[in-house]
Structure 1
């Protein structure tokens, strides 16, 4: 198997590490999958096996958030703050969204 070596700036490296951790992959495995996506003629998303689970989870959480928000707006706000912190820890928020 050929081996590639290249340099990254610190911020890109840190962002890739967070995304790899969030995907439960090593940095090398994560980057290999990104490169596979880049050369895929169908332009499919590499992590597509998780798309259906993600879509279902978002729908369920939206229903729960709506219900909680109607019953207790303060509980909803606390939950949203906690969710943003968890997403930020995993590198799943853009820089402007980090609390």
Structure 2
């Protein structure tokens, strides 16, 4: 098992130590599940300091998608397929849980690339 060293301020260390002690766990045992949840969030979103930027990006994307759908449904479909591919490549979208990619489906305009 690997070791991870992080720097935290004294007040945070004190609060974590108290919580770990109250749970009758070592600091590592107490913090490890939190780190695992951040690495493998399951169906939950792990909040970060980038949440505000992310929410702006999502709103902008939603507006652009609505405009693209009105002017050209094919462009919107291609953009959504590209976005899903990028999310899958980065591990942010599980293909098995993607409602837009049922088994055997090939993304729009991708037949010639495969």
TM-score, with normalisation over the residues of structure 2?
Answer: 0.47
**CA distance in 1: counterparts of 2:86 and 2:46, whole angstroms:** 23
Q: Give the aligned partner of residue 61 of structure 2.
A: 61
SS of alignment partner, residue 48 of structure 1: coil
- Which ranges of 4 or more aligned residues in structure 1 deviate by more than 6 Å? none
Of Structure 1 and Structure 2, which has the larger fraction of its residues in helix?
1
1:37 is displaced (CA, Å) by 7.9
Unaligned segments of structure 2, at least 5 residues: 6-30, 36-44, 102-106, 108-114
- Of the two structures, which has the highest relative contact order with CA contacts closer than 8 Å and spacing of 6 or more? 1
TM-score, with normalisation over the residues of structure 1?
Answer: 0.53
How many equivalent pairs are there?
64
- Are the aligned partners of 1:36 and 1:46 in contact in 2 as well (CA < 8 Å)? no
Of the two, which has the highest radius of gyration? Answer: 2
**CA distance in 1: counterparts of 2:50 and 2:32, whole angstroms:** 17
**CA distance in 1: counterparts of 2:56 and 2:64, whole angstroms:** 12
Unaligned segments of structure 1, at least 5 residues: 7-27, 30-34, 40-44
SS of alignment partner, residue 77 of structure 1: helix
